[in-house]
Structure 1
Amino acid sequence: MRKRSSLLKTGLALLFVLLGGCASVESRSLPYDAWSLNFFAPDYMEVWIETADVVDINDRLFRGAGSGIPATGYPRGLSKGIPAHFKGDAKGWFKDPGGKGRYVTGADLPRLIYVRWQSIAEPQTYEAYIEIPQFARNTMLKDEKAFCGAVGKWKTDYRKLLIVGLAPGGVAKVWLGGPCLQSTEVTRVQGTISPEGPYRGQSGGTYYPLSEESKAYIDKFGIPYGSW
């Protein structure tokens, strides 16, 4: 009888542990499955993201949450050669940036974003630690009514897109947006030069290649430092 009672207690204890584990997962503060970390760069100011890492409010680290080529207006993806007229303008930020990226699956609200990138328009390698303020996290939890042009009707939306703009000089600026909501500014951070150089010093100082079109734009108009 004692053995049976002991087994019952052990089984109940295990059940409480399992239920506790489920509760901790379900108690995440997000009202949606995941938020997305998106990046973009001004026209012709091309960037190569070496890594973007996330720390959430539970101090969990998500490495490699972003990498590669971010969104930009110009040059276009299928552009070839140097155009007769440059349609883009590198000065300043896009009015309603959206960027491109990926969902940070399993993360709670973001506390810190680390990004290391090559500003191949210069070229220079930067890194930045972006602290996400509490008001931004509060905004990510708030539902808003918005007219969604994609479906042609009003719907409830959340600002679950964390959008980071990366510009020459090591500037990183952050917005919050939603699929049907206009992006709003959150913070601006001045990054620092990474002493290791591109690819953490593994490329002998060689940067990701700059496109022919962007190089021609920079040769003609220069880099508009101070406009970001």
Structure 2
Amino acid sequence: MSNFIRVALPALLLSGCTFANSESMPYDSWELGFSAPDYMEVWIETADVVDVQDHVYPRAWSGIASISKPSNNSGDPRGWPKRAAIGGGKRVTGADLPKQIYVRWQSLVEPQTYLMVINIPEATRELIRRGEKVFCRFDGKWITGYRDSIDIGLAPGGIAKVWVGGSCLPPIEVTMVKAVIDPRGPYEGKSGGHHRPLSAVSKAYVEKFGVPYGSW
């Protein structure tokens, strides 16, 4: 395990889950979402959040990352979308703005288990906090919009890209992270090395075209 994970992970787990007062935010909660390239299925075992008040929110999200699996192998998993959309996720309620996000996930097309810690700098929190005047097509009027969502794109090879966005504002890419392989394997070694199964649609694509490593 890398020194980065050794140092960051114990700090993440020291404190318990406590409700924050969210004084630094102009709204009640922010959203954490996950996505993956076409057919490159991902299962998030856990996504834990540490906010700026050092409160820990374990399993703020777990489950399937948002993904498209067009029929007849007509999708294209190479690269990232020009305009990222917030993937499957949920609101992180009770937390203040994030300082770190710890993610452990299974890349099912490989298969492989990865883990990483994403450090959220103050410059990124300022983007999340800052309101902007924008014309929102959803309600047809000018509003003060916020980039109150964090989307994490997960790709084979342990590649992760992070954007902040909002319903009426374009997303902004803020960082890219290279995760490390978790030597314990899936479910922290509690599944006998067995990853979750890959769907038939994604399996058919990978068997025909392979995994486009290097495109992310």
Q: Does 1:204 align with 2:199?
A: no
Q: Residues 38 and 68 of structure 2 are in contact (CA less than 8 Å); yes or no, is this contact kept in structure 1?
A: yes
Change (3 A) 1:29 1:225: same
For residue 193 of structure 1, report the CA deviation from its aligned partner: 0.3
| Alignment pair present for 1:96 and 2:83 | yes
Contact 1:128-1:172 within 8 A present in 2 as well? no
User: Comparing 47-56 with 147-156, which one deviates more in the overlay?
Assistant: 147-156
C-alpha separation between the residues in 1 aligned to 2:22 and 2:131?
A: 18
Aligned match for 1:190, one of 156, 161, 178: 178
Q: 2:117 maps to which residue?
A: 129
Q: In structure 2, what residue type is equivalent to 1:210?
A: L
1:103 aligned counterpart, secondary structure: strand
**Aligned counterpart, 1:70:** 65
Q: CA deviation at 1:175?
A: 0.1
Contact 1:48 1:117 in 2 (8 A): yes
CA RMSD of aligned residues (A): 1.5
Asked whether the equivalents of residues 20 and 55 of structure 2 are also in contact (C-alpha less than 8 Å), the reply is no
After the TM superposition, list the runs of 4 or more consecutive aligned residues in structure 1 that deviate by more than 6 angstroms.
Answer: none
1:173 paired to 2:173: no
- Listed as ranges, the gaps of 5+ residues in structure 1 are 1-23, 76-82
| Residue 96 of structure 1, CA deviation | 1.8
Paired amino acid for 1:135 = A
Residues 158 and 220 of structure 1: CA distance in aligned 2, closer, same or farther (over 3 Å): same
Aligned equivalents of 2:20, 2:202: Cα separation in 1:
46
1:78 maps to none
Does residue 155 (structure 1) correspond to residue 150 (structure 2)? The answer is no
After TM superposition, the score normalised by the length of structure 1 is 0.83
In the TM superposition, what is the alpha-carbon distance from 1:27 to its structure 2 partner?
Answer: 6.5
Instruction: Pick the aligned partner of 1:34 from 15, 26, 29.
Output: 29
Deviations 1:175-199 (A, max 9, x none): 0000111111010110000011011
Aligned residue number for residue 113 of structure 1: 101
| Aligned-pair CA distance for 1:125 | 0.2
Question: What TM-score, normalized by structure 2, do the two folds share?
Answer: 0.87
Q: 1:15-55: CA deviations, max 9, x gaps?
A: xxxxxxxxx96561000001011100000000000000000
Query: Is the 1:116–1:126 contact (alpha carbons within 8 Å) kept by the matching residues of 2?
Result: yes
SS at match of 1:51: strand
C-alpha distance in 2, partners of 1:148/1:86?
A: 35
Percent of aligned pairs sharing the same letter = 57
Counterpart residue type for residue 60 of structure 2: A
Are positions 1:223 and 2:172 aligned together? Answer: no
Q: Deviations over 1:48-74 (max 9, x none)?
A: 000000001111100001100011122
Describe the shift of the 1:205–1:106 C-alpha distance in structure 2 as closer, same or farther (beyond 3 A): same
Greater Rg over alpha carbons, structure: 1
Partner of 2:53: 58
